[in-house]
Amino acid sequence: MTDRGWSRPFDEPIPLPRGRQLVTLQDAAEYIMELPEAEHGAAEWQAAMEALLLVADLGGPTMFARIGMMRALNRGRVREFNSSRKSPHWGPASWREIDEDGLDLR
């Protein structure tokens, strides 16, 4: 396998909204080119295309191109923190029960 070229596969395929997947750098480039002009010109898509070009032409890890594609695909989505998923790592002691030296005053 060569370390350059558009036929290089991603380490993991990139899932698309309708169930299709992008398997190679060429698939990703064609997907970007098929986007409407207004979306195609967005900064995230331009960065993704630049990452694809660098990886295809100069070699390097396909992970860089994958990250660019994932960021562009997920642009505009706000990540939400769900505090109920994880319990706090501290015990029942409050911060008031610990002095400046880190000693437990209970």
* 53-99 confidence digits (pLDDT tens): 999 999 889 999 999 999 999 887 777 777 676 666 665 555 555 55
Domain presence at residue 63: yes
Confidence of residue 40 (pLDDT cuts 50, 70, 90): confident
For the chain, strand residue ranges (E) read 9-15, 21-24
Domain presence at residue 44: yes
Under DSSP, is residue 76 helix (H, G, I), strand (E, B) or coil?
Answer: coil
Domain presence at residue 93: no
Domain presence at residue 97: no
Residue 44: domain span: 23-73
pTM across the whole model: 0.69
User: Could you give the number of structural domains in the chain?
Assistant: 1
Three-state secondary structure of 10-21: EEEEEECCCCCE
Domain presence at residue 45: yes
Domain presence at residue 36: yes
